[in-house]
Structure 1
Amino acid sequence: MKPYLEKISSNVDLTYEEAADAMQLIMSGESTAAQFGSFVTGLRMKGETVDEIAGMASVMRKMALSVNYDNDLLDTCGTGGDGLGTFNISTAAAFVSAGIGIKIAKHGNRAMSSHTGSADVLESLGININLTPDQVSECIKISNFGFMFAQGFHPAMKHAGPPRREIGIRTVFNILGPLTNPAGAQKQLIGVSDPKVGNIIAQSLKRLGSEAALIVHGNDGLDEITLSDFSQIWILKNGEISTEKFYPESVGVNIQSLSNLQVNNSEESAQMIESVLDGIHGPSRDIVLLNSAAAIFISGHSDNFQAAFDKAKHSIDSGLANQTLNLVREYSQKLND
């Protein structure tokens, strides 16, 4: 690891192969906690490159437990680290998308630098998150939604978990999570809190062979499509990357403050998700609809954002999204019996 630390501290980029080797050292436990901390902090200060991210992601993918599911799969997730304390919007969007038949393979973890991670809020929703690969596959078949708890599906990451938690800031691992889906989801909606990361993630997904991805960043710093401002969007389709700005008003949603979307813990986040899926109107519903529309659009189930937005509304108003949540809860808890 020392040669790589020397390069990074000298502001020199690693090659794809060097980054992959460094990741191998981390995941095998050969690097120390101090070396890990220096490595990820140095990468962030220097700025992570596409080769570095793709090289590290390739090793994580190889060492992950795999979910075998022979169908189109979509993941909805974010890098976290925006510090805005909103409820788990991408998790809610996953249930809305699954409600209209999109197969969701959601990959997530506990909170590292925020109030609540996707694993935390799913537990608060009464869902058993500790499923095996076969159980995740079966859950997707039954409900269109399956959750892969990162700790369980990336056992070699046990060496990185404790020092990463102690560091407590965004590192390359916030970026790697969305790139290392154990089910190999080829379509993704990814939120980023740092706009400089958006294009890098799009380029990394292209390098890794992703079929389609929508990367979003709210101009207010939110790692989702936001309500309070426009959002920057990077679209990866057919091997090409394009960028555009998205305004909520384009689908009839008014600009609103994020203050009513903030929570203090996973229980509050779960309550907000359930209120949205129960059909309660308000800013929480609006932001879930916007992000669900993004997921539906990039999945290929709608040709344009307005049509995707209308499908998202139907999923909630018909009760299909809520039905999905209940199916996932019921199936996952049966496995505890």
Structure 2
Amino acid sequence: MKHILVKLLEYQYLSRNEARELLMAIVRGELPDTQVSALITIFLMRSISVEEVLGFREALVEMRVPVELKEYGAIDIVGTGGDGKNTFNISTSACFVVAGAGYPVVKHGNYGSTSVSGSSNAMERQGIRFTTDINILKRSIEHSNIAYLHAPLFSPALKAVAPVRKSLGVRNFFNVLGPLINPSDPEYQLLGVYDLSMARLYSYIYQASRKKFGIVHSLDGYDEISLTGQFKVITNRGEQLFMPEELGFSRVTEAEIFGGETIDEAVSLFNKVLNCTATRAQMEVVVANAAFAIQIIEPEKPIAECIGIARESLYGKKALNALKRFIEVNG
């Protein structure tokens, strides 16, 4: 461990095995919080390599609680977080829009660490009881088209470092790892990232895994399609730049999608969106993210058609119905 720490302090890159051993040591409690904080700071100050990510991921996968839900062909919609924008729960809202449109979703999420409200905060405020019970998770998908996997229940490593991450309050390599360790290993994934270098990193990793994926990044720094300006979408088929207006959306301001200062404010926005009592800007941002998720599942559909499907799910209250049915099983 001393060798690894010295190597990191000299800004050298770790091998895949060194990265794996490092994360194992963190989870086993062999490093004090001060050293874990130092490690997070080092990785914040320099880029992380593909080999390091794969090594960290191997450690987390070895320790996670697996969930067999492959039969549903589900999608996960998730952001890395760490963009500093503190939006409301856009990806979580989009999950229910996709579920309402008839597509199975297995959402992997956690409490907020770099934003006020994470997806688990939003779920908890709906009265959801987190579980690892496979029968409940399957019943949830079959009843509402969505199951929720609360990360700390399935990945003890994330639970072990949660206090340090929360106290630092800045993005770190655990933000990078979260989307890669959904214990159900879903067939499809829409991932939002906070910068283009991160988009490239995930693109290499996804292509190696043969996953059907979409990576989105708004060029003004959002880890989702924010509709505040131009955004990039990278999929198995290549990459494209879009302007909101090209897709029939009006451009929105940062203030219009801000999540508020408290969990209650953020969760209130989540509920307003699904009840269609939020602002047009807030609802259309969710529609945009849901539409690109749908296109990952059905790549033959043009994006205009996917936008129409997402709008019908949200404004037709299908997404709200999916939430209600989800609460029936999990509440």
TM-score in terms of structure 1 length: 0.92
Q: Which residue of 1 aligns with 2:45?
A: 45
Deviation of residue 201 (structure 1)?
A: 1.6
Match of 1:38, as an amino acid?
A
Q: For 1:123 and 1:225, how far apart are their aligned partners in 2?
A: 25
Structure 2 counterpart of 1:63, which letter? M
For structure 1, which segment, 209-218 or 286-295, has the greater mean C-alpha deviation from structure 2 after superposition? 209-218
AA partner of residue 32 (structure 1): P
Question: Equivalent residue for 1:267?
Answer: 264
Render the CA deviation track for 1:107-166: whole Å, top value 9, x for unaligned. 111110111111001122332234534422321222111111111111233332222222
The alpha carbon displacement at 1:14 in A equals 1.1
Q: Which residue of 2 aligns with 1:185?
A: 186
Tell me what 1:29 maps to.
29
Structure 2 runs not aligned, ≥5 long? none
Q: Which residue of 2 aligns with 1:283?
A: 281
Aligned to 1:314: 312
Is the CA contact 1:227–1:258 (under 8 Å) kept in the aligned structure 2?
no
Contact 1:296 1:302 in 2 (8 A): no
Q: CA deviation at 1:48?
A: 0.4
Shift of 1:323: 0.7
Q: Look up the equivalent residue of 2:207 and give its one-letter code.
A: K
Q: C-alpha deviations, 1:169-194, integer Å up to 9, x for none?
A: 11000010011001111311111122
Match of 2:223 in 1: 223
Distance 1:120 1:222 in 2: 20
Normalised to the residue count of structure 2, the TM-score between the two structures is 0.93
Amino acid at match of 1:212: K
* AA aligned opposite 1:311: I
Residue equivalent to 1:117: 118
* Superimposed CA distance per residue, residues 178-235 of structure 1 (whole angstroms, 9 cap, x where no aligned partner): 110011113111111223211112212333x142111111122111102110112222
Q: Unaligned stretches of 5+ in structure 1?
A: none
> How far apart are the structure 2 equivalents of 1:82 and 1:46?
16
The CA deviation string for residues 70-98 of structure 1, in whole angstroms up to 9 with x for no partner, is 22121111111222221100000000001
Find the aligned partners of 1:163 and 1:256 in 2 and give their Cα distance: 34
2: CA distance between counterparts of 1:228 and 1:219? 9
Deviates more, 1:21-30 or 1:225-234: 21-30
Partner of 2:301: 303
Match of 1:7 in 2: 7
Contact 2:144 2:325 in 1 (8 A): yes
After superposition, residues 120-131 of structure 1 pair within 5 angstroms as 120-131=121-132
1:37 Cα deviation after fit = 1.9
- 1:104 Cα offset (Å): 0.7
Q: What number of residue pairs does the alignment pair up? A: 328
Q: CA deviation at 1:315?
A: 0.9
Kept in 1, the 8 Å contact 2:82–2:172? The answer is no
Aligned-partner Cα distance in 1 for 2:307–2:232: 18
Equivalences for residues 1-337 of structure 1 within 5 A: 1-69=1-69, 70-207=71-208, 209-236=209-236, 242-262=238-258, 263-280=260-277, 282-300=280-298, 303-333=301-331
1:160 aligned counterpart, secondary structure:
helix
